[in-house]
């Protein structure tokens, strides 16, 4: 009886710890968003762009950080969501932002299911090559289907209605910023629940030892495809938000460069933590913005130097290394 009570007390303590950490995470995100709003009132478009890229980085963290899937073609999911939302508005006149977001989710899920089914047929380097081939195929398909996508000129004519019929999209980007912040909060909470769920733990176990999971009767490939599909939904939300906020969708949303930058952001912040994706996005995009403005000719050199320093001295990423250091200090004190 005492053992059962101790187990129940332990579970309650774990749940309370999870809830407290989740609340702290939400407070941090809201605080950072508030600081950004007051620090950059004339550049909210940059902050909204950061939120869209953060959603892309979160989706990549699901498959790379938690599942160990090597990919350099994740922008295919992001671009599919952007084009799905843009086509719904430009060609069908459906301009409700919430419906556009749903279209983005559908586009991301479809491309995630297709990409996952192809990429997961290989492992290691062949898997990476398949992802690169896929992003180029998506990019070329969007370029050739110019009657729907606008081709190299981009898809224009996107005119989102006010959110919930009240909040219009203005030139200052306030509505887009608040919509993006709300989406990021909702997605972050759902992903925290996902990675702590039995399914999330299964994906972590597959990353560590897929042979053991298969020997225990599990289906690694089926679980990874499901996670890839969920990742597509998250990336699709980011793509749809990008289409809504900028009111144009270009081929750059399906570019290899976009995929590579998302992976760089994840390495910079740290994989397998969700917060690493968020912190990596903020650091990378702010650093890129300031350095490119200060030195438009050699800013890539400075970005490269930053990445080399992080990989050499903080191999777990900036957030991951900091979290590990703090955890060790707590263990030493206790």
164-168, 172-176, 281-285, 323-327: range with lowest mean pLDDT: 323-327
Mean pLDDT of the chain: 87
Determine how many CB atoms are found less than 10 A away from the CB of residue 328.
10
Report the alpha-carbon distance of residue 108 to residue 168 in Å, rounded. Answer: 26
Closest to 230 in 3D by CA, of 248, 203, 253: 203
pLDDT value of position 216: 82
- pLDDT > 90 fraction of the chain, expressed in percent and rounded: 48
Report pTM.
Answer: 0.92
The first and second tokens of residue 327, run together, are 């955890």
The answer to whether the CB of 111 falls within 8 A of the CB of 74 is: no
- Answer yes or no: is pLDDT of 86 > 50: yes
When pLDDT is averaged across residues 311-318 and rounded to a whole number, the result is 84
When pLDDT is averaged across residues 59-81 and rounded to a whole number, the result is 92
- Answer yes or no: is pLDDT of 59 > 80: yes
Helix axes 75-90, 125-144, angle to 10 degrees: 20
When pLDDT is averaged across residues 59-73 and rounded to a whole number, the result is 91
Q: Domain segments of the chain: what residues?
A: 21-252
């Amino acid at each position: 009886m005492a053992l059962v009570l101790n187990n129940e007390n332990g579970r309650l303590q774990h749940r309370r710890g999870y809830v407290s950490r989740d609340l702290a995470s939400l407070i941090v995100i809201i605080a950072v968003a508030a600081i950004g709003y007051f620090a950059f009132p004339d550049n909210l478009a940059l902050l909204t762009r950061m939120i869209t890229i953060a959603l892309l980085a979160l989706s990549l963290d699901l498959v790379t950080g938690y599942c160990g899937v090597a990919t350099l073609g994740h922008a295919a999911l992001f671009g599919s969501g952007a084009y799905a939302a843009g086509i719904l508005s430009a060609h069908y006149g459906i301009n409700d932002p919430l419906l556009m977001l749903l279209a983005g989710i559908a586009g991301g899920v479809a491309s995630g299911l297709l990409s996952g089914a192809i990429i997961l047929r290989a492992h290691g380097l062949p898997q990476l090559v398949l992802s690169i081939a896929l992003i180029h195929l998506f990019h070329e398909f969007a370029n050739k289907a110019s009657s729907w996508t606008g081709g190299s000129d981009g898809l224009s004519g996107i005119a989102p209605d006010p959110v919930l019929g009240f909040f219009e999209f203005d030139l200052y980007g306030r509505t887009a910023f608040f919509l993006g912040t709300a989406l990021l909060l909702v997605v972050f909470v759902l992903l925290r629940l996902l990675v702590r769920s039995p399914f999330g733990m299964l994906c972590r176990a597959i990353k560590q030892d897929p042979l053991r999971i298969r020997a225990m009767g599990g289906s690694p490939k089926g679980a990874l495809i499901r996670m890839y599909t969920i990742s597509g939904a998250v990336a699709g939300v980011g793509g749809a938000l990008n289409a809504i906020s900028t009111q144009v969708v270009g081929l750059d949303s399906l570019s290899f460069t976009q995929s590579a930058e998302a992976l760089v952001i994840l390495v910079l912040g740290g994989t397998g933590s969700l917060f690493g994706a968020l912190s990596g996005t903020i650091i990378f995009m702010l650093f890129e913005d300031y350095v490119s403005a200060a030195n438009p000719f050699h800013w890539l050199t400075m970005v490269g130097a930053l990445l080399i320093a992080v990989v050499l001295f903080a191999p777990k990423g900036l957030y991951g290394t900091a979290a590990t250091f703090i955890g060790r200090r707590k263990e030493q004190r206790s």
